[in-house]
Every structure is written in structure tokens, then in C-alpha cells.
Amino acid sequence: MIPTGAARWLTWAAAISLPVFACAEVPADAPGLMRDVVFTEYSDRSRNAELVQRLLTPLVGAAATRRAATLHRVVRQQPIDLAREKFVLYVPPRAPPQGYSLLVFVPPWSNAALPPAWAAVLDRHGMIFVGAANSGNDANVLDRRIPLALLAAQNVRGRFPIDPSQVYIGGFSGGSRVALRAALAYPDVFHGVLLNAGSDPIGDDQAALPTLELFQQFQDSTRIVYLTGKDDRSNIERDEDSRHSLRGWCVFGLSVETMPWAGHQAAAPPELDRALNDLAEPVRADPSKLADCREGVARQMHAQLERARDLIRRGQSADARALLKKIDAHYGGLAAPQSVELDARADLTP
């Protein structure tokens, strides 16, 4: 079911008037709005093995890999057949001297469209917009929504001069939650995330933490911008929970923009303009605060791992596995490879 705000958005989108091109009728680097664009270039980051490693917790990913091997399933390298996919692409008329910035958009609905009145704002920021069709809330996150976003970024970067430090991902409502998950798993691709009326806490099986190296990159350089209608009460509360979670995980590059007199709806141009200004702001966390916070998280995690290790030594394998499952869901890749090694030892314990 499409949210009320999304339905209103689609009505507006159908009414706007912009020059629209079929991809085959214009040069590859032409400006303007292009629909039904077909991309051809794949990325190693969108391979199934990479998606499993980055988006699933280590124990869940290991179990999925074992199950596929047990069933003798041949897993395709890429979950997406680009020849069958369509994208919407908007390119401003002039590229900034340092190259365009890029916003990969994840919608909650299935069609690919440019939000109404966003074009003028994108022009001012020199920002390309790209979104995939059939990437709404009814699509699978691992099999479609995130790989489509990664492939959109890959192909736009291959086609246009893009400033790599200004590649962002965003979305509306359920698409916004997917955008946060993608930014968390791929901070080496996306350096900011626009959360328009949708967000989640991190550090659970729905938003698993990546490896230590990737997570520190996320902490150091990813700007997270919250943009929600003032009257969208449920999502205002979820935003607060999300920010509380992120700060607890030592993520401090947070910005908040509120849309006055607005409910659950996509951003209007003035608020979008402010949010894009926020996205371009570099993250400047206090080094000592960040170091202290990271040390506290590491200390708590290692205490939990040591407790699991002690349970294994005492032969309490069932209790150890239950604890390791909780550690895996909460700390994700931060606890690996110790969590995986301890889980294997618990399986061997009588």
C-alpha cells in the first residue's frame, strides 16, 4: 500500500512539466530528465557475496553460505540483470568545476520518477538524481533495492564527471530506511544519506554493523541528514530513536531539518535545499570524544565475547550460542572474526 504522502507525491509528479527524453534518443552525457534509462555496467560491490558480507551479520551470512552449499545451489554473481531494469535520471544543465554531486534515490513505490519541483534545487546544487524502477517497499532489500542503488551509482559515475566525495543516497519513507542501511554498509560509496520521513536505529539484524574498518569510515565521513514533516509524529519519534542509537555507536555527523506544516510527505524545494546544503557539510567530530566513545563500545563488546568464551570453556554450549547470537545481532561485523570462531567452537563443545 502506498502511503498517503507518497500518493500525493505521485499525483504531483504526473503533473510537472520537464523536458523528457528516451535514453536512446540523446547522448549519454546529455542534461535533462531521462526516463526508462538502461544501464550496462556492473560493480564488484553489488555481487551477491559482497552483499552478504556487508548487509548480513557474520553468523547469519555464514549460515546462509553453508545452507547454499548443502543444497548444492549455484548462486549467481549478480542478483540484478541490468538489461531488464529501468532508471530515471536527471542531469543539471551545467556541471560544477569539481564535477557533479550525485543523489541515488530509493523510493517507497515501484515507479521511477523525479519528485516535483526538485529539478530547480538540483540545478542549484549541480546534483544528478537517479532512481530505479521496481525498487519500492514491496521489493527485496538485499536482492533488489540496495544492489539497484549501487549499480545506479556505478553507472552514473562512469557516464558523468562526478565528485567522488559528494556521492549520496537518500529516500522517502520506507526507501529512506533502506538508504540508511545502504550508507551504513557502503561508506566507501556513499558519503552522506538523506533520510526523508523515515529512519531506524542501527546495530540489529535489520541494520547490521559492518566490519570495523568500514564502520570507522562511516563514523569519520558520513553525514546523516534527517528531514521530516513537523506533523509526521510517528516518524519524528523514530528519528529521535535513530539519532540516539547513532550517537551511542559514536556517529556524530548528524543534521536535522524539519518541514513546517507538513505531514508524511516528500520534501518541498525549500527544505530540500537546506538538506542538500547539510549533506555537503564535512563531518567534524571531536577526536577525543570519538576515541573515548569507540573505546567504550569495544570494551563492552569484548566483555560479552569473553563471557561467551567462558561459557564454552565450562561446557555450556547452548548458553554460549544464545549469547553469541545476541552479540552477532548487536555488534555485527565489529565482533568478527571472534564471534564466528567462538560459534564454531560452541558447535564442537559436547
Which of these, 174, 229, 219, 216, lies nearest to 199 by C-alpha position?
A: 174
Give the residue-averaged pLDDT of 161-188. Answer: 97
Look up residue 99 and give its three cell numbers: 564535477
Q: Which residues contact 250 (CB under 8 A, 6 or more apart)?
A: 219, 290, 293, 294, 297
| 8-state DSSP, 267 | P
Q: How far apart are CA 174 and CA 50, in angstroms?
A: 23
Strands in 188-222 per DSSP E: 192-196
SS3 for 117? coil
Tell which residue, 273, 229, 22, has the closest CA to residue 127: 273
51-72: pLDDT as tens digits: 999 999 999 999 988 887 787 6
- Amino acid identity for residue 40 in this structure: T
Amino acid at 242: S
**pLDDT tier at 20 (50, 70, 90 boundaries)?**
very low
pTM for the whole thing? 0.90
Question: Quick one: pLDDT at residue 8?
Answer: 43
253-269: burial string, b at 16+ Cβ within 10 Å, e else: bbbbbbbeebbbbbbbb
Domain spanning 4-284, CATH class: alpha beta
6: confidence class by pLDDT, cuts 50, 70, 90 = very low
**pLDDT above 90 coverage of the chain, percent:** 85
Which residue do the cell numbers 519524528 mark?
236
3-state helix vs strand vs coil in the chain, percent to 5: 50, 15, 35
pLDDT(277) > 60? yes
Q: How many other β-carbons are positioned within 10 Å of the β-carbon of residue 69?
A: 10
CA-based nearest residue to 178, from 230, 131, 237: 131
Cα-based distances in Å from 165 to 104, 154, 193, 291:
14, 14, 13, 24
What's the confidence (pLDDT) of residue 17?
40
Among 242, 249, 214, 219, which Cα is nearest to 333's? Answer: 214
307 CB neighbour count, 10 Å cutoff:
14
Is residue 106 within 8 A of residue 171, CB to CB? The reply is yes
Please list, in sequence order, all residues whose beta carbon lies within 8 angstroms of the beta carbon of residue 348, skipping any fewer than 6 positions away: none
Q: Which amino acid is at 223?
A: R
Task: Give the mean pLDDT of the chain.
Answer: 91
Which tens digits make up the pLDDT trace of 39-55? 999 999 999 999 999 99
| Burial readout 212-221 (b: 16 or more C-beta within 10 A, e: otherwise) | eebbbbbbeb
Nearest 5°: CA angle at 345, between 310 and 315? Answer: 45
